[in-house]
């Protein structure tokens, strides 16, 4: 259950970085709406990370949380913000995914 909480926390990290990207592209009330989404996602992500670290080792949980956030944010950038998909970028995303899986496998 704690791993599921950690994964959801990582997904909310992706949500807050996405909201931040959208907020910088807009103005007025639309930007404010994206910033509200940013702060709500940030609070939820941090709370879920806190809950997961009640049982999981802090170093492992933090590394997995940031890894999910990093991979998810890069994928959102590629899919929705037309960011680069060159070989090396994809190669390092996959090595990061492998590292996240490795941390889960070796955790007790």
First-to-last alpha carbon distance for the chain, in angstroms, is: 14
Q: Summarize pLDDT for 44-57 with one digit per residue, the tens.
A: 999 999 999 999 99
Q: Summarize pLDDT for 18-30 with one digit per residue, the tens.
A: 999 999 999 999 9
Q: Which two tokens stand for residue 103?
A: 């941390």
- Residue 52 has a CB neighbour count (10 Å cut-off) of 25
* pLDDT band for position 103 (cuts 50, 70, 90): confident
Q: Which two tokens stand for residue 93?
A: 């995303």
Residues 48, 8: contact at Cβ < 8 Å?
A: yes
Structure confidence at residue 43 (pLDDT): 98
């Amino acid at each position: 259950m704690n791993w599921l909480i950690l994964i959801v926390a990582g997904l909310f990290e992706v949500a807050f970085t996405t909201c931040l990207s959208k907020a910088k592209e807009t103005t007025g009330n639309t930007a404010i709406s994206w910033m509200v989404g940013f702060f709500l996602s940030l609070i939820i992500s941090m709370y879920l990370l806190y809950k997961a670290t009640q049982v999981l080792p802090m170093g492992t949980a933090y590394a997995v949380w940031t890894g999910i956030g990093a991979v998810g944010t890069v994928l959102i950038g590629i899919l929705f913000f037309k960011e680069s998909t060159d070989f090396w970028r994809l190669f390092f995303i996959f090595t990061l995914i492998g590292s996240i899986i490795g941390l889960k496998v070796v955790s007790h």
